Amino acid sequence: MKKKVLFWIVAVVITLSAAIYQRMTGPTYPKTFKITLNSHEIKGNLPRTATSGSNAQIELSSIPEGFSATLYYMRYPSNEGYIPEPFERNGSNLEAFLPSEPPAGKLSYYLQIGHGFNVVNILIDQPVIIRYKGDVPSYILMPHIFFMFFAMLLSSLAGLFAFGKVESYKFWSWIAVVFLVLGGLIFGPIVQYYAFGEAWTGVPFGFDLTDNKTLIAFLAWAFALLMNRKKERPAFIIGAAVVLLVIFSIPHSAMGSELNYSSGKVVTGLINVIHFL
């Protein structure tokens, strides 16, 4: 009994750690910066995802009088040149807005902050890439997140049970796969359809990393269950759990849908790694 409780605790820790790592290293996690200008520290979080149909707000908090800022942006990828957008003061904050783009459309942007004769460019060498998505209803998004989280949790639990020779590892393996199918192969494509207008952009239709890693995880688990159908082979369950853990830790949306502004079509894009380090 103590061993089962310990395995549950370890599975929860593994799942939460992987989820936090995936979130913080992914290309949709806000880009942070901190500078000191004329003895005043300025820091902020710059968004890298926004909902299509609304302008994306860029806000600098607690900025003293006398400071100014300009937002520079252009469509990505393109060679159109950056468009300046001055920040406006709103109380103690400065704010500017990026224009809305269609789902899967992207903008590249950086900031310029000045005080007197001193001017500092923020991330001009590595501009922030923000991607727009369609509005996903909460009744679709929440089940997707719920099922995927518990698929990871129960996958880790089944792997630990198999490692510890706990008899119920097969039961939890089946439940994990059910949650994986629901979250990744049913609700996942629905979420993507709402967000980018395409339900599946993985193999054989594209190279979307999120879709492909979900497919790989499902195949790994299907193979593990098949190998345990007539005979207990816990090593395959452990292997499938490790595969899902590795896949779950890969930054979400690292190779995702991207609007080709020349053709007007949404294609599978590769987000350069430097944009989300």
Read out DSSP for the chain?
-HHHHHHHHHHHHHHHHHHHHHHHHSTTSPEEEEEEETTEEEEEEE-SEEETTSPEEEEE-SPPTTEEEEEEEEEES--S-PEEEE-EEETTEEEEEEPP--TT-EEEEEEEEEETTEEEEESSSS-EEEEEEPPPPHHHHHHHHHHHHHHHHHHHHHHHHHHTT-TTHHHHHHHHHHHHIIIIIIIHHHHHHHHHS-S--STTT---HHHHHHHHHHHHHHHHHHHTSSS--HHHHHHHHHHHHHHHHSPTTSS-EEEETTTTEEEE----GGG--
108-133 pLDDT per residue, tens: 999 999 998 899 999 999 999 999 99
142-158 pLDDT per residue, tens: 999 999 999 999 999 99
Give the pLDDT confidence score for residue 144 in this predicted structure: 95
Give the pLDDT confidence score for residue 163 in this predicted structure: 94
Write the burial class of residue 261 (CB in 10 Å: 0-12 exposed, 13-18 middle, 19+ buried).
Answer: middle
229-271 pLDDT per residue, tens: 989 999 999 999 999 999 888 776 556 678 888 777 777 644 4
Residue 182 has pLDDT above 70, yes or no: yes
When pLDDT is averaged across residues 181-199 and rounded to a whole number, the result is 92
17-53 pLDDT per residue, tens: 988 888 887 788 899 999 888 888 888 899 999 999 9
How sure is the predictor about 272, in pLDDT bands with cuts at 50, 70 and 90?
A: very low
Residue 276 has pLDDT above 80, yes or no: no
Kindly give the interhelix angle for 234-249 and 138-163, rounded to the nearest 10 degrees. 140
Give the pLDDT confidence score for residue 2 in this predicted structure: 80
Give the pLDDT confidence score for residue 4 in this predicted structure: 86
How sure is the predictor about 277, in pLDDT bands with cuts at 50, 70 and 90?
A: very low
81-114 pLDDT per residue, tens: 999 999 999 998 999 999 999 999 999 999 999 9
- Of residues 167, 159, 166, the one with CA closest to residue 235: 159
Give the pLDDT confidence score for residue 252 in this predicted structure: 65
Residue 59 has pLDDT above 60, yes or no: yes
Give the pLDDT confidence score for residue 84 in this predicted structure: 96
If one compares 184 and 254, the residue with the highest pLDDT of the two is: 184
Domains of the chain: 2-26+136-275 (no CATH), 31-133 (2.60.40.10)
When pLDDT is averaged across residues 170-198 and rounded to a whole number, the result is 93
Residue 11 has pLDDT above 80, yes or no: yes
* CA distance to 136, 171, 191, 233, per residue, from 199 (Å): 13, 30, 8, 35
